[in-house]
Chain A
Amino acid sequence: MKKFLAQLLAVVLALSLMTCGGFALAESDTIEINFVAAQYSDATEAYMRKVCEAFEAEHPNIKINLEVIGWDSISTTVNTRVANRQAPDLYNGGSASQFVADDLLYKPEDIISDELKADFYDVFWTNNIDPDLGEVYQIPYVASVRALYCNKKLMDEAGVTPPKTWNEVLEACEKIKEFYNGDVYAWGLDATTTEGQTTVAYYCWSNGGGYVDEDGNWILNCDANVEGFEYIKELYDNGYTNENPTSETRDDLQKLVANDKLAMLVTACFFPALYPDTELYISDIPYNDATQSASSTLGVQDALIFFNENAKATKDSPEKLQAIADFCDYFYAADNYTPFMIQEGLLPATNSGAEKLAQDDPDKAAYMSVLEGAKFYARSKQDWSDGAYAIIDAAQNMLTGMQTAREALDEAQAVVG
């Protein structure tokens, strides 16, 4: 009996060891991909999780550890992890420019498939070239285009049509100000740290200015930019804009448009999706017809970056890199990618995604043709954050009367020097 029990015990032990071994083997065979993604809306996480689960179902040996984090804390979270060599494999929420100098990133061309690379719009891919190194370290993730959105009810009541040029903007603002006797703001202006660098770009670029020259050097205090700044000040000093442009964010202003308190606002193409009940006129960003012959469209893109082994505690096997490539192919496949873009009110960065958008949401597809000719700001530049904050500071210094447009931009140029 004792012998039998001993044999039984041995068999049980052996089986349990095999089971443990089996699990261990299964676990070691599983490739885990850590993906930190930005939250674009309350629905982002649910959709992303659905895509990840569907991918895992097709690839049982790959597990996607998805973490969706809000914009207010995503960069702090990831920066801390990078500093502790615990970076995720995939990260959408920041710019590669911050990590390139430390050799923390894979070149996407070494990871993603040739088919996926070929599918990206050229304008997006080119915008991601690091001007200092001439290489691409991030791939387009989502895009948006900016336009002038006018509250239809307010404009119709005041008898104003969407303005096309700077002079027409001044005329329209004056009419709205007089008609509503100051109860409605005519023009929205966001010079906060959230969106200031984008807002200022509307005026500088529609006057022929820009933030960098063709060689990628900062030109913040060029004459066209100074004139753009002076125009912003004119709008503000005439009482056409919201009263607190240094603290009222894009979200606050969009809410004012939806609540019939603000008539005109240049903002992103996802605005109508946020307030579907608000009737809007949509028009190009007004330009200075004294210096330009047409409007200049501003495009904004968010990127996806791939951290390499220098930012992590573990080595990446060839199988893992292939798994990342497979996941990218799956995520950017039009059937998965375009519904996500439609849900978030954003635009796809791939040709196949745009084709599907044309079928599924023809109204939104009109933006794609505009996007092809859009100008982007230089987020790939390694000192981009210095430049962006210098521009915001300059706008705030000018609007609060501390400096003239010229003084503010000269100081901004000196900061990025």
Chain B
Amino acid sequence: MKKRSNGKMKLAQFEAYLWMLPTLALISIFVLFPVLESVYMSFSKVSKAGFIKSFGTLENYQYVFKQPVFPRVILNTVVWTVVIVLISLVISIMLAVVLNERFALRRFTRTMLLFPWATSGFITACVWKYALDYQYGSLNALLVRTGIVQKNINFLGNADSAFAWLIFVGVFVTVPFMTFTLLSGLQSISIDYYEAATIDGANFWDKLFKITLPLLRPAINVTVVLNVIYCFNSFVFVHTITGGAPAHRTDTIMTYLYWMAFSKNNYGPASAISVIGFIVLLFFSVIYMNIQMKEETT
């Protein structure tokens, strides 16, 4: 009898693997293979035409760390990721709480909020690039015509203001997804807690900090981890709006990697940058997950 049930279990397991096979094959071809190829390339001498000449060298990593601008690129990437995720998180929690209440036009508001997220990143980036243009930008036209400013403002004129605007655009596209993730978390919190708290005399803030946020933590964890990965790997906004200029001062790892590979044709160092980026991302993700897990166990 036991043997029979073991056999059934094995068959079920086999069936499960069989169903997973197409997904595993796709992941292997389109994710695993390129990742391994990248790692292999990062330890190889690669010609300007992209052919691997020999394996077993650290030259690519040495070359990358010798680039004077590389520490700045790493710093930019960390600032870009952390600031966007933090600002978006605060805004998204507020929006999610509001959207969880009943009010007129709630459905319409929710739909409108989805637009920036549903629009292609490239189109969003192009729209902002032209909105912020110094000579012909629509934002400058609006500000000048309404009399708020007398002359056009050079929004992307220096590295600091350009980077600040990049972060603004990053927040603009991150908030919708985060809000909806948190909203789904809010909807899973039982109304009984709030009713009991109301009977006990709790006000809005008591409910927010003692019921909503603690119970929303799993959803916050998920959205933070997902958006850290998303922002860290984000390419299209920086590439389209500033292209990393001036002198790589607004570059992040992804745009710097692209420039190294496809403008300079230095494929070996570009692979090394991608591996370094992966390690940095892994480092922060592991720290974050550890902190969260410790908090959950205590």
Contact = CB atoms under 8 A, between A and B. Distances in A.
B154 A244 contact: yes
Contacts of B49: 79, 82-83, 98-99, 101-102, 104, 311
Majority DSSP secondary structure for residues of A touching B: helix
Interface residues of A, number: 34
B135 interface: yes
Interface stretch (A4-12, A111-119, A286-294, A394-402): A394-402
B262 interface: yes
Nearest to A192: B245
Contact of A98 (B48, B69, B134, B159): B48
Contact of B246 (A79, A97, A400, A411): A400
Contacts of B246: 246-247, 396-397, 399-400
A252 B133 CA distance: 11
A369 interface: no
Contact of B243 (A75, A83, A193, A389): A193
A277 B245 CA distance: 33
Nearest to A75: B262
A385 interface: yes
A400 B249 contact: yes
Contact of B157 (A244, A402, A415): A244
A83 B245 contact: no
A246 B247 CA distance: 8
Interface string B240-255: 0011011111000000
Given A98-B48, A399-B246, A402-B247, A79 B158 contact: no
Nearest to A403: B247
Contacts of A393: 69, 247-248
B71 interface: no
Given A79-B49, A101-B48, A244-B156, A385 B263 contact: yes
Contacts of A246: 245-247
Nearest to A79: B50
Contacts of B68: 411
Given A83-B49, A102-B49, A247 B242 contact: yes
Contacts of A382: 48
Contacts of B249: 400, 402
Nearest to B50: A83
Contacts of A402: 247, 249
A396 B72 CA distance: 15
B212 interface: no
Which of A247, A248, A415 lies at the interface centre, i.e. has the most chain B CB atoms within 10 A of its CB? A247
Interface of A: 75-76, 79, 82-83, 97-99, 101-102, 104, 192-193, 243-244, 246-248, 252, 256, 261, 311, 382, 385-386, 389, 393, 396-397, 399-400, 402, 411, 415
26 contacts: A76-B262, A79-B265, A98-B49, A192-B245, A243-B154, A244-B157, A246-B245, A246-B247, A247-B156, A247-B242, A248-B134, A311-B49, A385-B263, A385-B264, A389-B263, A393-B247, A393-B248, A396-B245, A396-B246, A396-B247, A397-B247, A400-B159, A400-B246, A402-B247, A411-B68, A415-B67
Given A193-B263, A246-B245, A247-B246, 5 more contacts: A99-B48, A102-B47, A385-B264, A393-B69, A411-B68
